[in-house]
Amino acid sequence: MLSQTHIDTVKATIPVLASAGTAITEHFYNRMFTHNPELKDVFNMSHQATGRQPAALFEAIAAYATHIDNLEVLTGAVMRIAHKHTSFNIQANQYAIVGHHLIETLRELLGDAFTPDIEAAWSAAYQQLADIFIQIEGNLYKANAAKNGGWEGFRTFRVAKKQAESELVTSFTFVPVDGGNVVDFQPGQYLGIKVHPTNHEFDEIRQYSLSTAANGQSYRISVKRELGEVKNGVVSNYLHDCIEEGDEVELMPPAGDFHYQERERPVVLISAGVGLTPMNAILDTLSAQGHQNPIFYLHACRNLQQHSFAKHVAGLTQTLNLTHYTWLENGAPENAERVFAGQMQLAQVAEILPLTEGDFYLCGPVGFMMFIKEQLLSLGVSDDRIHYEVFGPHQNF
């Protein structure tokens, strides 16, 4: 049970945590993977290599310590993390392993400063947080399993279709090997997919946004091939190069707290690169529903060769009250309609956007979304009408 003394002690350690920074979480992960290497089959080791996961965990620990006496502030972050955990099939017994290595990390880094009182406080604080996640995730697992087409744990699916959408993006359609239905999802959510890349030591689990409307029979994701260092594209390159129609993969049920929210408001979808995948799911869903309110779709990419779903989106203007614009970083073709050259500048289309009443959904690289959010705020869009999805460890901005 977390006491007031525990709370005061945890908050008193915040300066120590801040001074140590990500050294704490880097030490934690190194320790945990040394003693429990089986967890390398669960965690995204690419994010370990790039430092994104240690940084995200440090931010989460610091936020929890800061708001430990007012956890309602963290409700959104907790739900976001819980959804991500379910896509990895995180189980209750794994929290004890994580807690053990967290406490031992603090002991090893703080030395004599890690007093019995601090250990007791952080042990109680961690257990409180673990119990919250275990309950929420348990409820999510049960809710998914109880739905039509739902299931718990990983389920085997077959690749029914593999289709190139652009120079870098390929779509994969999955059907369950058992022939049953699949649970519906909210447009904007993602799938957890587990594969074992060729000549790779560990299983790899990744999350990819569903890229079309729910149909109860199959799922589709659209994956960008990550270029450059192999560590940043182990799974995407494996899917592109090695997974073919007829092959099997393991999937978790759809998850994610970023999704279209049905409101009687205009909708503005803003994406860059492969960030268009959840936007495409939203558009397809609204089309299937016969949505009549105005929809604005703004997309940025490098060039026409990397513009996925361009013809599909143009065709949706026949069924939706849809206005769409594209920004091409490397320059727009002559006489192209609704196409701008360079970076996305909302001022170029601001006069037609529902700035005072619309809901704005953003997805793409973090730098792009920060750039767009700043523009939206400067144009008078309220922060509570701006929703965004970050691929990988979450970042607030």
344: domain CATH number is 3.40.50.80
Q: Residues 178, 91: one domain?
A: no
- Whichever domain contains 188, its CATH number is 2.40.30.10
Whether 207 has a binding-site annotation, put simply, is yes
**365: burial class by Cβ within 10 Å (0-12, 13-18, 19+)?**
middle
Does some domain include residue 139? yes
pLDDT in the model for residue 391:
62
In the 8-state DSSP scheme, what is residue 332?
Answer: P
Identify the CATH number of the domain in which residue 90 sits: 1.10.490.10
Measured CA to CA, the distance from residue 266 to residue 260 in angstroms comes to 12
pLDDT of residue 51: 62
Containing domain of residue 119, as a range? Answer: 4-146
Q: Does residue 394 belong to any structural domain of this protein?
A: no
Where among 255, 275, 301 does a domain terminate?
255
pLDDT for 389 equals: 79
Same domain, 13 and 118: yes
- Whether 291 contacts 263, CB under 8 Å: no
3-state secondary structure 349-376: CHHHCCCCCCEEEEECCHHHHHHHHHHH
- Residue 320: the pLDDT is 95
Among the listed residues 117, 114, 86, 91, the one whose alpha carbon sits nearest the alpha carbon of residue 102: 114
Give the tokens for residue 117: 């009182």
- Tell me, yes or no, if the pTM score tops 0.75: yes
Domain check: are 142 and 8 in the same one?
yes
Task: Tell me whether residue 396 is in a domain.
Answer: no
Determine the Cα–Cα distance for residues 6 and 23; give it in Å rounded to an integer.
24
Q: Is residue 41 part of a domain?
A: yes
Residue 174 within any structural domain of the chain: yes
**Tell me, what DSSP letter sits at residue 230?**
G
Q: Are 213 and 292 in the same domain?
A: no
Residue 123 is assigned to a ligand binding site:
no
Report whether 98 belongs to an annotated binding site.
Answer: no
Tell me the residue length of the chain. Answer: 397
Q: Which residues are catalytic?
A: 95, 137
Q: Are residues 244 and 372 in the same domain?
A: no
Residue 261 lies in a domain: no
DSSP letters spanning 77-101 = HHHHHHHHHHHTT--HHHHHHHHHH
The H-or-E segment that residue 175 falls in is: strand 169-176
- Considering 93, 124, 146, which residue would you say is the last residue of a domain? 146
Q: 256 labelled as ligand-binding?
A: no
For residues 25 and 65, membership in a common domain is answered with: yes
Could you read off the pLDDT tens digit of each residue along the chain, which spans 397 residues? Answer: 789 999 999 999 989 888 888 888 899 999 999 999 999 888 876 666 666 778 778 888 888 999 999 989 889 889 999 999 999 999 999 999 999 999 999 999 988 989 999 999 999 999 999 999 999 999 999 999 999 999 999 999 999 999 999 999 999 999 999 999 999 999 999 999 999 998 888 899 999 999 999 999 999 999 999 876 545 688 999 999 999 999 999 999 999 999 998 888 899 999 999 999 999 999 999 999 999 899 999 999 999 999 999 999 999 999 999 999 999 999 888 777 899 999 999 999 999 999 999 999 999 999 999 999 999 999 999 999 999 877 654 455 4
Q: What is the pLDDT of residue 202?
A: 87
Residue 391 labelled as part of a binding site: yes
Same domain, 132 and 64: yes
Final residue belonging to a domain, choices 113, 146, 179: 146
**Per-residue pLDDT, 232:** 64
pLDDT of residue 231: 55
- Angstrom distances, CA of residue 92 to CA of 98, 138, 243, 300: 11, 8, 32, 41
Q: Is 274 annotated as a binding residue?
A: yes
| Dihedral sign, Cα of residue 317, residue 320, residue 322, residue 328 | negative
Consult the annotation and say whether 197 binds a ligand.
no
Tokens of 375: 């523009």
- 96 and 160 in one domain? no
Q: Residue 264's pLDDT is what?
A: 83
> Both 245 and 278 in a single domain?
no
85 known ligand binder: yes
Question: Is residue 174 located within the same domain as residue 210?
Answer: yes
Name residue, tokens 């059907």.
Answer: 175
Residues 6 or more apart from 136 whose CB is under 8 A from it? 78, 79, 82
Inside any domain, residue 198: yes
Q: Does 297 appear as a known binding residue? A: no
Residue 6 Cα to chain centre, angstroms: 33
The total of structural domains in the chain comes to: 3
* Residue 395, domain member (yes or no): no
Q: Are residues 24 and 138 in the same domain?
A: yes
Q: What's residue 363's pLDDT?
A: 95
Does 29 belong to an annotated binding site? no
Residues 73, 111 share a domain:
yes
